[in-house]
Amino acid sequence: MVARRRIDIAEGHAALAAWRSGDRTRPVTAMAVRFSLEELAARAPGNSVEVRVPPFGVTQCVAGPRHTRGTPPNVVECDAETWLALVTGGTSWSDAVDRGLVAASGLRAELSAELPF
């Protein structure tokens, strides 16, 4: 299954570049988060892990057993600053988890192989 894109790839990369350069305005952060969630779903297609970055977005990714009802068994959740730091290489997965910046539950909720892009 191919991930559905809502954000133009060039616009998404521009938002990530702006965020990396220090533009932390809400519109730039929102676009960068939403684009990066789409990119994660494209790079790691599947439905076994739900990644939540409130209030900006959520996606399902990683191949494995499909989740259909209730709370998913594999969930990753963090704030936008942490998510974008993970995506851009500003922090590592293990460091963010060790510092309590990422809540990851379930056997498949480990995204170090997917991040950064």
Percent of the chain with pLDDT over 90: 80
Q: What is the pLDDT of residue 78?
A: 98
Q: What is the pLDDT of residue 94?
A: 96
Which pLDDT band holds residue 2 (cuts at 50, 70, 90)? Answer: low
Q: What is the pLDDT of residue 3?
A: 60
Tokens (6 digits) for 91: 């922090």
Region 87-103 average pLDDT: 97
